[in-house]
Structure 1
Amino acid sequence: MRISSNFDSGNIKVISAEQPHDIQLEINKDNNSDFFQWFHFRLESTPFVEHKLHINKLAESAYPEGWDDYQAVASYDRQTWFRVPTTYQDGQLVIDFEPEYSHTFFAYFAPYSYERHLDLLYRAQSHDACQIETLGQTIDGRDISLLVVGEPSDAKKKVWITARQHPGETMAEWFVEGLLEKLLDDEDPHAAALLSKTVFYIVPNMNPDGSVRGHLRTNANGVNLNREWQTPSVENSPEVYYVLEKMRAVGLDMYLDIHGDEALPYNFVAGSEGIPSYDARLASLENQFKDALLTITPDFQDVYGYPKDEPGQANLTVASCAVGEEFKALSYTIEMPFKDNADLPDPHFGWSDRRSYQFGQDTLAAIVKVVDNLR
């Protein structure tokens, strides 16, 4: 029996693995950080034998409440990820599983590999409407890549989308893949309507270093990028520094920052009610966008989410608040679950890569409803 995580986004520490029914594991912390929650590893063992994998010390993890009612995902081919029987009690997650093949992959959510990220960039580049720009390099020397979709013009609205500031929230890049595929479809009416009046600036992965390293929440330096938007630096948070620099250079009329939430089993948005410049115009735009999403997809709801900030109490180190305040623009954080969508549960797959992909396409359609009112 062998357990390995020596691959892209791998993360696990083997404490003992001598008997299939008593495999003891822990999750490594993000580099220079106390955050940990993301796991991704491969089990090599005998098929059709019951295995019990115990992941320990989770009461100390970043979001202990995220383990309640959570089911891990597994895959034999790294393409289809399905939920497996999982229980959580007293800081220990137990995966109870009988593999059908000798090699099984387990993860916190369906991984989105760095190779797939590169494939997404260069597949998008093959479309006449899309160009890639390299804004700078990460701490580990990877490209900070921006996709510009549409013919730039001062007359056109500028919509910015960023994903995976928190690298373990892989559903965010699945979301962007779905949105991009729809946006670059020459026969899609929503795409045609938008590109006639809008340019999209999309960063599919804000944190490629953390993604490859198997981090939950931070970059290679152990910095939480979504707390860097007030004073980013090339030394600690080049990913935010270069993206914000580009935003200021080209302008911004709408911003969506795509995330995943460990605890809440719903899709929801978090607005910028607490920023100093929040007014009736921004409130109207937020409501228009939410109403459009509610009409387009039953996978979205507006009952459960984060508490709204009191006026003037927004955290301006957070991307959606900082950007909303600086550009006086519609600015939302979009959150998806690691667990399942409690409104439309799926016992086999839970909330999944495929549903994240579809939610990205639905969100693009919702932008059509607000784009004319952004200025």
Structure 2
Amino acid sequence: MKINSSFDSGNIEVVSYDDPKNITLNIATDSNSEFKQWFHFKLHGETGQTVGFEILNAQDCSYVDGWDDYQVVASYDRQYWFRVETEFTADKTLKFSKQLEQSTIFFAYFEPYSYERHQNLIQVSQLSDLCEHQVLGSTVDGRDIDLLVIGDESKERKIWVTARQHPGETMAEWCAEGLIDRLLDQNDALSRSLLDKAVFYVVPNMNVDGSYRGNLRSNAAGANLNREWQTPSLDKSPEVYHVRAKMKETGVDAYLDLHGDEALPYVFVAGTEGVPSYSDKIKSLEDEFKSVLMSVNPDFQDEFGYDKDEPGKANMTVANSWVGEEFNCLSYTLEMPFKDNANLPNKETGWSSERSYILGQTLLNPLYQLVDKLR
């Protein structure tokens, strides 16, 4: 038997595997940080063998509430990922087991989105006449900060989308891929009509270093990028520094920042109620965005989510707050679950890459309805 996490986005520490039915593990912390929750590893055993796992430090992870009603994802081919029955025990460890149908199986916190797939997304997208690939700068580890400009930059309305500031939130890049693919579909009447009026600036992965390193929330320097927007630096948070500079160059009329939430089993948004410039106009845009999205995708709801900030009490280091205030625009954080959507559960897969992708496609519907109102 062998356990390995020495690959793109791998993360696990083996404590003991003397007993195949009780393999004990720990989740490693993020690079230069104390965050931890993401795991991704491969096990090679014998077909028909039952293997059991116990993650001993689950109670010490960053979002302990995230383990309640959570189910691990697994895959034999790294294409189809299914849920494995999981228990957060009275001893505050995470336990799961699986009888092997093949000799090698992968387990993860959520379906991974590899750096290789990210590069493929960039390269394939640039083949479209509608898309230009730009490199905004370099990450801490020297990787490219990729931007896809979709549409004609002379268009008056500028719509920005960023994803995966927190690298373990892989559903965010699956969602971004869905949005990008629909924008580039020249047979889609809605996307063609939207691009007649607006240009999109899409950063599919803000944190490629953390993604590759197997981090949950931090970049290579240990920075939580979604707390760096007020005063980013080239040494600690170059990813935010360069994206923010490009935003100032282009302007922003609407902004979506794509994320995943460990604890809440819902799809929801967080707006800018707490920023100083919040107005009735922005509230109207927010309300219409939510109404249209609910009408086209029942995975989205507006009953459960984060508490709204009191007026003037927003955390201005957070992306959607800083962007909303800087550009006085519609600015949303969109959250998806690591678990399942409690309103529309799927026992086999839970919330998945496919549902994230479809959500990304349907995000264009409210933007299409609102585009003329953004200025």
Question: Counterpart in 2 of 1:251?
Answer: 251
Question: Counterpart in 1 of 2:232?
Answer: 232
1:304-323 matches, cutoff 5 A: 304-323=304-323
1 CA distance for matches of 2:12 and 2:190?
42
How big is the shift at 1:52?
0.9
2 CA distance for matches of 1:189 and 1:78?
33
1:192 equivalent in alignment to 2:198:
no
How big is the shift at 1:59?
1.2
2 CA distance for matches of 1:95 and 1:4?
18
Question: Counterpart in 2 of 1:127?
Answer: 128
How big is the shift at 1:48?
1.2
Range 46-55 or range 96-105, more displaced? 46-55
Question: TM-score normalized by structure 1?
Answer: 0.99
Q: 1:217 corresponds to which letter in structure 2?
A: R
How big is the shift at 1:288?
0.8
Please state whether the residue corresponding to 2:128 is helix, strand or coil: coil
Matched length:
374
How big is the shift at 1:118?
0.3
Please state whether the residue corresponding to 1:260 is helix, strand or coil: strand
Please state whether the residue corresponding to 2:201 is helix, strand or coil: strand
2 CA distance for matches of 1:128 and 1:259?
29
Please state whether the residue corresponding to 2:363 is helix, strand or coil: helix
Question: Counterpart in 2 of 1:31?
Answer: 31
1:355-366 matches, cutoff 5 A: 355-366=355-366
1:13-71 alpha-carbon deviations (Å, 9 max, x no partner): 00011221110000000011110000000011112122111111111101000000000
2 CA distance for matches of 1:47 and 1:39?
23
Range 199-208 or range 88-97, more displaced? 88-97
2 CA distance for matches of 1:48 and 1:281?
61
Question: Counterpart in 1 of 2:113?
Answer: 112
Q: 1:321 corresponds to which letter in structure 2?
A: S
Question: Counterpart in 2 of 1:81?
Answer: 81
Please state whether the residue corresponding to 2:10 is helix, strand or coil: coil
1 CA distance for matches of 2:267 and 2:370?
20
2 CA distance for matches of 1:122 and 1:278?
38
2 CA distance for matches of 1:365 and 1:45?
47
1:158-197 matches, cutoff 5 A: 158-197=158-197
1:342-357 matches, cutoff 5 A: 342-357=342-357
2 CA distance for matches of 1:302 and 1:85?
29
1:264-303 alpha-carbon deviations (Å, 9 max, x no partner): 0000000000000001010000001001101111100000
2 CA distance for matches of 1:17 and 1:40?
17
Please state whether the residue corresponding to 2:49 is helix, strand or coil: coil
How big is the shift at 1:235?
0.8
1:142 equivalent in alignment to 2:143:
yes
How big is the shift at 1:106?
0.2
**Moved runs in structure 1, 4+ residues, more than 6 A?**
none
Question: Counterpart in 2 of 1:92?
Answer: 93
Question: Counterpart in 2 of 1:51?
Answer: 51
Q: 2:267 corresponds to which letter in structure 1?
A: N
Question: TM-score normalized by structure 2?
Answer: 0.99
2 CA distance for matches of 1:119 and 1:141?
18
Question: Counterpart in 2 of 1:213?
Answer: 213
Please state whether the residue corresponding to 1:42 is helix, strand or coil: strand
2 CA distance for matches of 1:144 and 1:173?
14
1 CA distance for matches of 2:363 and 2:328?
21
Q: 1:144 corresponds to which letter in structure 2?
A: I
2 CA distance for matches of 1:160 and 1:54?
41
1 CA distance for matches of 2:108 and 2:156?
41
Q: 2:365 corresponds to which letter in structure 1?
A: A
Q: 2:106 corresponds to which letter in structure 1?
A: F
2 CA distance for matches of 1:123 and 1:110?
22
Gaps (5+ residues) in structure 1?
none
Question: Counterpart in 1 of 2:262?
Answer: 262
Question: Counterpart in 2 of 1:374?
Answer: 374
1:66 equivalent in alignment to 2:43:
no
Q: 1:372 corresponds to which letter in structure 2?
A: D
How big is the shift at 1:369?
1.1
Q: 1:11 corresponds to which letter in structure 2?
A: N
Q: 1:62 corresponds to which letter in structure 2?
A: S
1:164-193 alpha-carbon deviations (Å, 9 max, x no partner): 000000000000111111110010011111
Question: Counterpart in 1 of 2:339?
Answer: 339
How big is the shift at 1:317?
0.1
2 CA distance for matches of 1:55 and 1:2?
17
1:288-303 matches, cutoff 5 A: 288-303=288-303
Gaps (5+ residues) in structure 2?
none
How big is the shift at 1:156?
2.2
